[in-house]
Amino acid sequence: DAGVIQSPRHEVTEMGQEVTLRCKPISGHNSLFWYRQTMMRGLELLIYFNNNVPIDDSGMPEDRFSAKMPNASFSTLKIQPSEPRDSAVYFCASSPGTHFSRPQPQHFGDGTRLSIL
Amino acid sequence: KNEVEQSPQNLTAQEGEFITINCSYSVGISALHWLQQHPGGGIVSLFMLSSGKKKHGRLIATINIQEKHSSLHITASHPRDSAVYICAVEKVSDKLIFGTGTRLQVFP
């Protein structure tokens, strides 16, 4: 079982550049989540998908952030243009999803540590 | 006021001690999750519970729905238990709201 795979593990770039973070969920999982973790705010949900459809994007900070899930095995989180305050660790997680009658545990990737200079 | 409050924020213990981390929440939930984040940064789901008690090895999680409170206990603590423990509540399908975490250090 490969787990949730995120890439890159680390990204350092200059402000104004476009940043793309990638996530491959566990095969068969129908729900995918993007989280951001900072020292100041802890873990926050940015957006989540169910069956490739965005369900709740209320946590996306502003229009500079966008997320897509073109198929069940791949999602991207894009920041354009990036700013220093976007520096954080970004986690992707997946779960079997809401078609089950009860809540399911989430499986987290190792995260992408993003630094915007 | 945060919807999920954890205490203590920081905790140090000697190896072998019994440890308790508390989580209180102010909203109706479908489930409560306990997560562990090691210094390397990875996050692991320890427990998900809606009622009662669950045990896995030296870890025990309890929840009292009426009092909106959960505890995570570690028996016979070990230095490898040193990590940040995060409580998260699930309000509607799948969406988690996180506490700020409890940083635990266990010294030999």
pLDDT in tens, A10-25: 999 999 999 999 999 9
Beta-carbon count within 10 A of A86 CB: 21
- CB-based contact B48 A44, cutoff 8 Å: no
The rounded percent of chain B whose pLDDT value lies above 90 is 81
**CA quadruple A108, B82, B4, B26: dihedral positive or negative?**
positive
Please give the average per-residue pLDDT across B15-27, as a whole number: 96
Please give the average per-residue pLDDT across B3-8, as a whole number: 94
User: 3-class secondary structure for chain A?
Assistant: CCCCEEECCEEEECCCCCEEEEEECCCCCCEEEEEEEECCCEEEEEEEEECCEEEECCCCCCCCEEEEEEECCEEEEEECCCCHHHCEEEEEEEECCCCCCCCCCCEECCCEEEEEC
| Residues B58/B46, Cβ–Cβ less than 8 Å | no
Please state, in angstroms and rounded to a whole number, the distance separating the CA atoms of residues B56 and B73: 11
pLDDT, position B94 = 67
Please give the average per-residue pLDDT across A76-87, as a whole number: 96
pLDDT, position A82 = 96
The rounded percent of chain B whose pLDDT value lies above 70 is 96
| Lowest-pLDDT choice from A75-79, A91-95, B40-44, B59-63 | B40-44
Tell me the pairing of strands B31-37 and B19-25. unpaired
| Residue of chain A whose alpha carbon sits nearest to that of B36 | A108
Please state, in angstroms and rounded to a whole number, the distance separating the CA atoms of residues A115 and A9: 11
More confident position, B4 or B27: B4
pLDDT, position A2 = 81
| Residue of chain A whose alpha carbon sits nearest to that of B89 | A103
- CB-based contact B94 A97, cutoff 8 Å: yes
Give the angle A28-A110-A108 at the CA atoms, nearest 5°.
Answer: 40
Chain A positions touching B87 (Cβ under 8 A) are none
pLDDT, position A98 = 59
pLDDT, position A71 = 94
Please state, in angstroms and rounded to a whole number, the distance separating the CA atoms of residues B10 and B22: 12
Task: List all residues of chain A from 83 to 102 with a beta carbon under 8 Å from chain B.
Answer: 89, 91, 93, 95, 97-98, 102
pLDDT, position B2 = 82
- CB-based contact B42 A50, cutoff 8 Å: no
Please give the average per-residue pLDDT across B43-48, as a whole number: 94
pLDDT, position A37 = 95
DSSP label at residue B104? E
| pLDDT surpasses 70 at B72 | yes
Chain B positions touching A9 (Cβ under 8 A) are none
B76 to chain A nearest CA, in Å? 26
Pull the structure tokens for residue B62.
């309890």
Mean of all residue pLDDT scores within chain B? 93
- CB-based contact A42 B44, cutoff 8 Å: no
| Residue of chain B whose alpha carbon sits nearest to that of A88 | B41
